[in-house]
Amino acid sequence: MGKLFILLYILTGIHAGACVSIAAVDLRYIMSITNADELLMVFSPLLKNMGILMAPQFFILLILCLIFSFKAFREKQSVNTHLPLFLIVAYFAVTLLVHIPINKAIFLGLLNNENLLQAIKKWDFWHWIRTVLSIVMIPAVMKFYRP
C-alpha cells in the first residue's frame, strides 16, 4: 500500500496544481475576453485539452481513493477516514452537474452570446469550488490514507 499511497499523494498534488493553474491563469484570460466569437474560439479548445488532461487523473484518483477507503472500511476505521473519497465524489458531482452540461452546450453551439458569457462565469465559479476541493484533498490524503 506504500507505493499506492505515494502515487495517490503525488497525483493529488498534480491534480490540485492543474486546477489552480486553470483557475488562476487560463480562466482569468478567458474571463477577460468580451467578444463571444473570440471567447468560443479560445474556450472550446481549452475545454477539450482540459478534459484530456484532467479526466484520466480524476479516474485514477477515484480508483485509488476507493481502494484506500475500502481498506479503511474493512479495518473498521472512523468515517472521517473516507474524507478524501467524499472530496473526490463532490468534485465529480460538480463536474457532472455543472461543467459537463455547460461544455456540451458550448460544443453543440446551443448558447447565444449573452448566455455564453453567463455560462462561462458559472463554469469559472464552480471550477473554483473544484479547485478548493482538490487542494483540501492533499492534507486529507496525508492524514487519512497514509500507511
Residue-wise pLDDT for 75-87, tens only, equals 988 888 999 999 9
CA 138 to chain centre: 13
Q: Which of 96, 97, 100, 117 is nearest to 108 (CA)?
A: 100
Per-residue pLDDT band for 37 (boundaries 50, 70, 90) equals confident
pLDDT for 89 equals: 97
pLDDT for 58 equals: 93
Q: Which of 91, 89, 79, 98 is nearest to 144 (CA)?
A: 79
Question: Model's pTM, two decimal places?
Answer: 0.90
pLDDT for 114 equals: 84
